[in-house]
Structure 1
Amino acid sequence: MRYVIFSDVHANIEALAAVLAHAARKRKDAWVFLGDAVGYGAAPNQVVERLRRLKGRLVAVRGNHDRVVLDPASGIEFFNDHAKLAARWTSIVLQPANRRWLNAVPAGPVWLEPNIVACHGAPQDEDTYIFAETDAIDAFAAVPQAWVVFFGHSHVPCVWELRQEGTQASLAFAWLKGGDRIELFLSRDSRYLINVGAVGQPRDRDWRPAYGLFDSEHGKLTIYRVVYDANAARKRILDAGLPQILGDRLVRGY
Structure 2
Amino acid sequence: MTWALITDLHANRQALEAVLAHARQQGVERFALLGDFVGYGADPAWVVEQVQALQAQGAVAVQGNHDAAVAAGARPGMHADARAVVEWTRQQLGAPSLQWLAELPLRVREDAGLFTHANAYDPGGWDYVMGRSEAMRSLQAARNAQARVNVCGHMHEPMLYHLSGVGKAGDFRPQAGVRVPLPCHRQWLIIPGSCGQPRDGNPAACYAVWHPGDGVTEDGWIRFERVPYDVEAAADALRQTTLPGPLAERLARRLIAGE
Summarize the Cα distance change of 1:79–1:27 in structure 2 as closer, same or farther, 3 Å threshold. farther
1:137 is matched with: 136
Task: Give secondary structure in 1 for the equivalent of 2:139.
Answer: helix
CA–CA separation in structure 1 for the residues paired with 2:236 and 2:78: 23
Cα pair 1:201 1:249 within 8 Å, conserved: no
Shift of 1:213: 1.1
Aligned to 1:216: 212
Q: 2:181 aligns with which of 185, 191, 194?
A: 185
Change (3 A) 1:20 1:220: same
Question: Hey, what does 1:228 align to over in structure 2?
Answer: 229
1:2·1:30 contact (CA, 8 Å) conserved in 2? Answer: yes
Displacement of 1:119 in angstroms is 0.4
Q: Trace 1:86-235 onto structure 2 (pairs within 5 A).
A: 86-108=85-107, 110-113=108-111, 115-126=112-123, 127-144=126-143, 145-165=146-166, 169-177=167-175, 179=176, 181-217=177-213, 218-235=219-236
SS of corresponding position for 1:38: coil
Give the fraction of aligned pairs with identical amino acids, expressed as a percent: 32
Q: Deviations over 1:64-113 (max 9, x none)?
A: 1001101036xx568654333212211122123432433332222x1112
Structure 1 length-normalised TM: 0.88
- Amino acid of the structure 2 residue aligned with 1:121: A
Shift of 1:61: 0.4
- How many equivalent residue pairs? 245
Aligned residue identity for 1:88: E
The one-letter code matched in structure 2 to 1:236 is A
Query: Which is further off, 4-13 or 28-37?
Result: 28-37
Q: 1:215 to 1:38 in 2, by over 3 A?
A: same
Aligned mates of 1:22, 1:137 — CA distance in 2? 32
Tell me the distance in 2 between the aligned counterparts of 1:123 and 1:130: 10
Give structure 1 stretches of 5+ with no counterpart: none
TM-score of the aligned structures, taking structure 2 as reference length: 0.87
RMSD of the alignment, in Å?
Answer: 2.1
Take 2:38 and 2:120, find their aligned partners in 1: how far apart are those partners? 21
Q: Which amino acid aligns with 1:123?
A: A
Shift of the 52–202 alpha-carbon distance from structure 1 to 2, 3 Å rule, reads same
Residues 171, 22 of structure 1: alpha-carbon distance in 2 compared, 3 angstrom cutoff: same
On the 8 A contact 2:109/2:147 being kept in 1, the answer is: no
